[in-house]
């Protein structure tokens, strides 16, 4: 019996301009809808941003929950940013 993972529903909020956003694992995730055109079906896509990095999903999703889940899996498995190396911290040394 296989079980499908569920999205973290409480993390996702609808932005006033339409897309859904979540903050997970240090990433800002966004899922948006691209409407249907005469030549193509509508679809959901996601992207993730953290610091100066941005990752755009290559896949298009028919279901919003599938796009949200893919974004969450990406954020969960993408390694955290490296910690400050010795000598590069902006904190004052302790005396």
Tens digits of residue pLDDT in 29-61: 999 999 999 999 999 999 999 998 999 999 999
In the 3-class helix/strand/coil scheme, how is 25-58 assigned residue by residue?
A: CCEEEEEEEECCCCCCCCEEEEEEEECCEEEECC
Q: Would you say residue 6 has pLDDT above 80? A: no
The pLDDT value recorded for residue 69 is: 94
Percent of the chain at pLDDT exceeding 90:
60
The pTM (predicted TM-score) of the whole model is 0.75
d(C-alpha 70, C-alpha 33), whole Å: 15
């Amino acid at each position: 019996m296989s079980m499908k993972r569920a999205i973290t529903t409480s993390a996702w909020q609808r932005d006033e301009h339409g897309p859904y956003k979540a903050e997970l694992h240090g990433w800002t995730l966004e899922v948006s809808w691209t409407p249907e055109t005469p030549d193509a079906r509508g679809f959901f896509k996601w992207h993730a941003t953290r610091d100066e990095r941005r990752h755009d999903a290559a896949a298009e999703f028919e279901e919003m929950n599938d796009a949200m889940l893919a974004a969450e899996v990406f954020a969960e498995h993408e390694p955290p940013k490296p910690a400050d190396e010795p000598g590069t911290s902006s904190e004052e040394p302790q005396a």
